[in-house]
Structure 1
Amino acid sequence: MKLWALHGLALCLLFQSGLSQTVVKSLPGLPGDLPFHLETGYIGVGETEDVQLFYYFVKSERSPKDDPLVLWLTGGPGCSALSGLLYEIGPFTFNYENSTRDKPTLKLHEYSWTKVANIIFLDQPIGTGFSYANSWESYNVNDNVSAAESYEFLRKWLKLHPEFQNNPLYIAGDSYSGIIVPMVSLQVAEGNDADLKPKMNLEGYLLGNPVTNVNSDLNSRVPFAHLKAIISDELYESANTNCIGNYINVNESNAACVDDLKVVTECLENINTANILEPRCVTMIPKSTAGDTWDPSLINDNRTLLLLPKLESPRVWCRHYNYLYSYIWASDKAVQDALHIREGTIEKWVRCNETLSYTYTVKEVIDIHKELIKRGFRALIYSGDHDIVIPYVGTQAWINTLNLTISQDWHAWFVDGQIAGYATLYSYFPSLLTYATVKGGGHTAPEYKPKECFALINRWFDYYYV
């Protein structure tokens, strides 16, 4: 959008600044009235409320006044809250069998986490989903700004919804939100210490397939590939020796290491990094505009569908074909009217915005995890064990650096008599950290294993440790 147009838009939208919340009674593609409570709205953050953050709020289908309140931050950065809602843990998803290219239809999600929790799905940072700003300057975001704006949003949201101030509060998210969620959680704790109102009943946080330490997360891909028999014993042993266990930022003068990693790359080139059991799909991913050396496509490989495939009888099914429906549905004016989207505030809706002006200012949050645990908060970390984007072996490695006591060693957990994954329970009185893998899960786990992830979260909310 050109600068003159943005200034004109800012003038037109001045009357829309501030707060707006609307209960959505029905949605295009889903017959009848919604059988759950859905609220959408904007909350302005920053000194002038120039940034307008859009959210979806779904009340628990069980007991809204008793069940936990969850702030859900989808990863990216730049992936829409609607993506997490539609494809992971929300109350409705696409009915693929009855959908067409021109008319996607919806169905209720049997394993929605809203069956046991009140969930706020937030479009963050600015430029994500339907969130927008009235000035260009506000679109320049970094990790610290993203966390601060999410925290301010939560404070304002709770002031508007005082009936939820006493519910157990959890900050949650997946993928790149592994950086932001601990930061927001600590800001909530420090805000309570400073007696900021409203006081929040923070009980803990949960993360799926989380980015935590950029270097070690990426470095764990080679050991993971070996564990999953994607690369041979001989290649792994050679690379491990020649690269001295360091597979990223390799010195080009180390020819033996460079040669080994070229072979590793060849072994991985046809692997779907989100789930190594599914076919890789060729899509177009634009370059990031971030002025930092960290490339977000390393985390979200093949996630953005810009070159849309034909839906008519593709030879090989690809999960990315499912994402096409979200572009069609969310771009429909009838849908945007139903969601009460402010007209003209975004140029176009995308599932994951790769063109954010985003600077990666935080490289690791292990010390924040240590601080949160020291303060006594509960934590659940889970990993789809077929995800090579953020491999579970890297997540296990940083958890081990927390120096926690193992209360329950590595063991299988079950759903309907079948192994759903493996888990370890750690303690640091009075904190408890649960780490669980989800068998066959990808990046991220609920999209691939919704039933198992629902069982996991339901047990964890009820203090039943898997």
Structure 2
Amino acid sequence: MVKCSSTSVFLSLLFLALLSFYLAESYGTADGMEQWGYAQVRPKAHMFWWLYKSPQRIENGPTPWPTVLWLQGGPGASGVGIGNFEEIGPLDYNLKPRNSTWLQFADLLFVDNPVGTGYSFVESSSLLVTTDEAAASDLTELLKQLYNKNPEMQKSPLYIFAESYGGKYAVTLGLSIVKAVKSGELKLKLGGVAIGDSWISPEDFVFSWGPLLLDVSRLDSNAAEKSNSMAEKIKEQIEAGEYGKATNSWGDLENYIISNSNSIDFYNFLLDSDMDPLGAAASNSITGSNTGLSLRRYSRYLSTKVASASDTLSKLMNGVIKDKLKIIPKNITWQEESNEVFTALSNDFMKPRINEVDELLSLGVNVTIYSGQLDIICSTKGTEAWVQKLKWDGLKNFTNLARTPLYCNGSDGGTKGFYRSYRNFHFYWVMHAGHFVPYDQPCIALRLVKETTQSPASY
């Protein structure tokens, strides 16, 4: 038998107390322009966050300086890694300054959400979230810890920007924030919710794939008809509440389309999957998992122009960045996507969130949609279909308005997008962009950020 002295027990308790304190504290750079830390959003569930303050910040401007909260998709994809270093943060994955960083117009708050994603972790897999609402509850708790005792942050309206599955997080979080602010539990001003190429209505998206790919000659009429038939099955499963089965059928449909389109890239219909040097390796690492296959395709599109970009990001996050942050537990290995998080949410994955968008609009919250022309998985055709299902009383007037063309640097280079706005609902159609709009069309992305947040900074 091993006997423990009172001294050893005391030291053990002290260590646990220090660890708890350590994870709750924030850290940052000496100049105060970056802050990061862990928030314990539930017992033994730890969410990592990273806040960048803009060097262009304008105090006492005509409008308050905004903060953008970025939510990545997947589910299980890391916003601290992908959104930060591959899309909108101050540095790219080679740690070179990004000319198109959104810091030009707002402070940026990245989180690894839900817990279990990226640097965030749980001390038991039973603590992984299984619903979008549970993810929103954790995020709301994070915001309470960041905002309630920080008058400076309270002055800056928060705009939630989301991509892909992150759009489902965004609309549920938006409603959670409104409720928490109204009850006095959260001291924060919600500026609006912006969802880009977001998985709001899985049914409408799967029905869009066959017609879209037939129109662009990537499927023939026989394959498009079969795709529509498989989409009908998914619709029936969704209506029956068989969401787990619908997730599996979604994976079957994606694989059917890939097989009959000569391996099209689901995030840009102008590309093949095998144009990405990581595609074959990622596919070979998966056995018998439709959801796993679709999950691993999530970040490949960002790597199509630079060989080994995904590998570079992984090395960066587990090397230089982990060393810089200092507080990441040694047993945590950063990954672009978490299979465990995806699996935990598999029964919620195919649930629509149209009603949540409707509720936000009815509450007067500003809602912005942006959609890449070349995206398949969250296609513009599918997005337009679910928008027409909104019960919002301004929908008819919104739909009847003419769109305004968008350009970058005047009219040079042709039309880069279209815009339509009515009351608190705004829609950006982004030309020549796939699923990852900030990566494909950074100029238009910057414009929509400035306009959405009403940033006082100038172009």
SS at match of 1:93: coil
Query: Which residue identity lines up with residue 111 of structure 1 in the other structure?
Result: S
SS at match of 1:395: helix
Query: 2:336 pairs with 348, 351, 361, which one?
Result: 351
What residue in structure 1 maps to residue 248 of structure 2?
none
- The within-5 A match list for 1:311-330 is 321-330=308-317
- The within-5 A match list for 1:79-158 is 79-81=77-79, 82-94=81-93, 105-139=94-128, 141-158=130-147
Query: 2:417 pairs with 402, 418, 421, which one?
Result: 421
Q: RMSD in angstroms over aligned alpha carbons?
A: 3.3
- The within-5 A match list for 1:374-413 is 374-403=362-391, 404=395, 405-406=397-398, 408-413=401-406
Query: 2:269 pairs with 276, 288, 302, which one?
Result: 276
What residue in structure 1 maps to residue 49 of structure 2?
55
Looking at structure 2, the residues matched to 434 and 180 of structure 1 have their Cα atoms a distance apart, in angstroms, of 19
Q: Percent identity?
A: 22
Q: Check the 8 A contact 1:17/1:52 in 2, yes or no.
A: no
Q: 1:444 to 1:365 in 2, by over 3 A?
A: same
- Give me the TM-score of the superposition, normalised by structure 2: 0.79
CA apart distance, 1:287: 6.3
1:442 aligned onto 2:434: yes
Query: 1:175 pairs with 164, 178, 196, which one?
Result: 164
Q: 1:422 to 1:319 in 2, by over 3 A?
A: farther
Query: 1:196 pairs with 185, 205, 219, which one?
Result: 185
Unaligned runs of 5+ in 1: 1-8, 26-33, 95-104, 252-259, 310-316
What residue in structure 2 maps to residue 462 of structure 1?
454
CA apart distance, 1:408: 3.3
What residue in structure 1 maps to residue 291 of structure 2?
295
What residue in structure 2 maps to residue 23 of structure 1?
28
Looking at structure 1, the residues matched to 316 and 72 of structure 2 have their Cα atoms a distance apart, in angstroms, of 19
SS at match of 1:107: coil
- Give me the TM-score of the superposition, normalised by structure 1: 0.78
Greater fraction of residues in helix: 2
1:217 aligned onto 2:210: no
Query: Which residue identity lines up with residue 162 of structure 2 in the other structure?
Result: G
Looking at structure 1, the residues matched to 58 and 26 of structure 2 have their Cα atoms a distance apart, in angstroms, of 18
Q: 1:331 to 1:238 in 2, by over 3 A?
A: closer
Q: Check the 8 A contact 1:57/1:120 in 2, yes or no.
A: yes
Query: Which residue identity lines up with residue 53 of structure 1 in the other structure?
Result: M
Looking at structure 1, the residues matched to 154 and 97 of structure 2 have their Cα atoms a distance apart, in angstroms, of 28
Looking at structure 1, the residues matched to 352 and 74 of structure 2 have their Cα atoms a distance apart, in angstroms, of 16
Q: 1:271 to 1:193 in 2, by over 3 A?
A: same
Aligned length: 404
Looking at structure 1, the residues matched to 339 and 437 of structure 2 have their Cα atoms a distance apart, in angstroms, of 22
CA apart distance, 1:319: 5.0
Unaligned runs of 5+ in 2: 1-11, 238-252, 274-278
Q: Check the 8 A contact 2:160/2:170 in 1, yes or no.
A: yes
Greater fraction of residues in strand: 1
Query: 2:33 pairs with 31, 37, 41, which one?
Result: 37
